[in-house]
Amino acid sequence: MSEGLMLPAERLHELICEVRSQKVMLDMDLASLYEIPTSRLNEAVKRNRHRFPEDFMFRLTPQECASLISQNAISNSGRGGRRTPPYAFTEHGAIMAANILNSDLLILMKRPSWTSCSA
């Protein structure tokens, strides 16, 4: 994600799915967006669980996972797949995740671009 760290809107919309009548992004997609391993994202969330109420993040049920697999929102990984259902992050949860993570990419994403401002 070079060239100003912009992600095309179409690509971002592909990562958003609807679960429990909420637009969410799954942990693996959010981690991919932030260019970190999913395990690192989930570890950071576990260490800061108090910052993620139910309206920020929730774990999918096995039925919800099966539904998303059938809709191709989650790939059927076969051998060596996940042992637990993924977390689903609402918009506020995704922002909170960005705030607790400390990756080089996120630091660049958070930094304001003063070069585009005119005096």
What is the tens place of the pLDDT at every residue in 28-38? 999 998 888 99
Q: What is the DSSP letter of 16?
A: E
Three-state SS for 65-109 is HHHHHHCCCCCCCCCCCCCCCCEEECHHHHHHHHHHCCCHHHHHH
pTM score, whole prediction: 0.74
pLDDT digits (tens, 9 = 90+) for 60-91: 999 998 888 877 666 655 555 677 899 999 99
- pLDDT reported for residue 8: 65
User: Which pLDDT does position 78 carry in this prediction?
Assistant: 55
pLDDT for 105 equals: 54
Q: Which among 93, 92, 110 has a CA at the least distance from the CA of 42?
A: 93
Encoded amino acid at 14, one letter: E
